[in-house]
Amino acid sequence: MDIIKIIGVGLISLIIIIIVKQYKPEFTLYISLLAGAIILLFVIDKIEGIINLLVSISNKTSINNEFLKLLIKITGIAFLTEFAVSISKDTGETAIANKIDMGGKVIIVSMSIPIISSLLETVVEILP
């Protein structure tokens, strides 16, 4: 029941942030970052299992391993971008959050070009 641990860390962090915000609001960011790191530690083994499963499927099929690595990197960038955007919004910096979000999207699209290109080449080969 890892979700219980994750929810517990989240709720405890929220309560601590509410209390600390009254006295030292500058520390709330650190508490939020610490909570995010703890939650990441709880799910890191699940992420490792997912990656191992994808690698296993990739080895059994004709999927290019470079595409798999690229997809894992893109997913990691999406998670990190969302985390940074959430932290920025929590601190009230929505303008910075929007810039981070846009930057993450641009990087993801630029990294996706080899996959899109390969997909289009495959479609062109199939079509008469």
- Residue 89 lies inside a defined structural domain of this protein: yes
- Distance, C-alpha 22 to centroid of its chain: 31
**Sorting pLDDT into bands at 50, 70 and 90, what band is 12?**
very high
- Residue 3 lies inside a defined structural domain of this protein: no
- Residue 115 lies inside a defined structural domain of this protein: yes
- Residue 59 lies inside a defined structural domain of this protein: no
**Sorting pLDDT into bands at 50, 70 and 90, what band is 13?**
very high
| pLDDT of 34 above 80 | yes
- Residue 32 lies inside a defined structural domain of this protein: no
Q: Which of the two residues, 124 and 61, has the higher pLDDT score?
A: 124
Structural domains in the chain (count):
1
- Residue 71 lies inside a defined structural domain of this protein: yes
DSSP 26: G
CB 87 within 8 A of CB 33: yes
Q: Round the average pLDDT of the chain to a whole number and report it.
A: 89
- Residue 14 lies inside a defined structural domain of this protein: no
Considering only CA atoms, which of 109, 112, 39 is closest in space to residue 101? Answer: 109
Q: For residue 98, what are the domain limits? A: 64-128
pLDDT given for residue 2 in this prediction: 84
d(CA 42, CA 34): 13
- The proportion of the chain whose per-residue pLDDT surpasses 90, expressed as a percent, equals 41
Give the torsion sign (CA, 26, 32, 37, 41): positive
- Residue 75 lies inside a defined structural domain of this protein: yes
| pLDDT of 1 above 80 | no
pLDDT given for residue 103 in this prediction: 95
Question: What pTM was computed for the model?
Answer: 0.75
